[in-house]
Amino acid sequence: MSMKMFKKIGKVCFHLMKRDKRPFTSAIVLAAGKGERMKSDGVSKQLMEIEGKPVVVHTLLAFQKCRHVDEIIVVGAESELALYKELKRTYKINKLKMAVGGGACRASSAQHGFLSVSKECGFVVIHDAARCLTTTEDIDRVIKETYRTGAVIAAKKATDTIKKTDSRGFITETVDRTSLWLAQTPQAFKKSVYEVALAKAGTLDATITDDAMLVSNAGFRVKVVECHHENIKITTPEDLPVASLILEKRRKLAEEKKQKGNAK
């Protein structure tokens, strides 16, 4: 083989490796919410414990285990930022890059996190810390689909009959639910898409209820990926025991699977 041919093959292999290389992906975990419906006597809901760990730790560990996530940025309350260094050390969350303060609304908090991602970031995945039952598998699925389409959210199909009412509460319409989805997080986007969406949005306020709305308003198409039905959001005190039961069930299933594997 000639040297010229050898170099040509080398260049082809290099470009193939480059093409197959996974994009750098940053996770932004939103943990700055006040959680007023939790009625937790001054303790934010993201620091309340489920199965011996703070809510936010369950979330961070799911992203820590995700092979498609390179770094994690937490957006938290100013009074709690110092705690994340301790949580990082205690639970070995080495992907946790930093914790930054939140904004006046959810969209503003997401922007604070976005401005803190690494320069090499190509994709961002944004998640509510209160959805602490998200799984690494679902995070992976959302991110991988985002590599293909540029904008994806986790969601759940609407299964209840949905009614539309007037201002007095009287039903005016039964809505066809076949094409309706309940939006969840994680929500992932190509970095350039999210940058354009922020630029077009101008002022960020509470009317922007999730990142998909921000991106859709900028004219981008956002795809839905159906995720696990257990991806509930911790909002009220009643959600804590439900989450605990789900985690207990998962632990038992994992133990049974391990025992079956050892028996083979």
Express each pLDDT in 201-230 by its tens digit.
988 999 999 999 999 999 999 999 999 889
pLDDT at 80 > cutoff 60: yes
Q: How many CB atoms lie within 10 A of CB 205?
A: 12
Class of domain 23-155+184-263: alpha beta
Q: How far is Cα 69 from Cα 27, in angstroms, rounded to an integer?
A: 7
Residues 6+ apart with CB under 8 A from 191: 117, 121, 122, 123, 124
pLDDT digits (tens, 9 = 90+) for 111-150: 999 999 999 999 999 999 999 999 999 999 999 999 999 9
**Secondary structure E strands in 77-161:** 96-101, 123-128, 151-157
Domains of the chain by residue range: 23-155+184-263
Where residue 81 falls among pLDDT bands split at 50, 70, 90? very high
pLDDT at 63 > cutoff 80: yes
**How high does pLDDT run on average in the chain?**
90
Write the burial class of residue 26 (CB in 10 Å: 0-12 exposed, 13-18 middle, 19+ buried). buried
**Secondary structure E strands in the chain:** 25-31, 49-50, 53-54, 71-76, 96-101, 123-128, 151-157, 162-165, 171-175, 181-190, 223-226
pTM > 0.85: yes or no: yes
In 3D, which of 261, 19, 250, 16 has the Cα closest to residue 134? 250
Burial 27-60 (b: 16+ CB within 10 A, else e): bbbbbbbebeebeeeeebbbbbebeebbbbbbbb
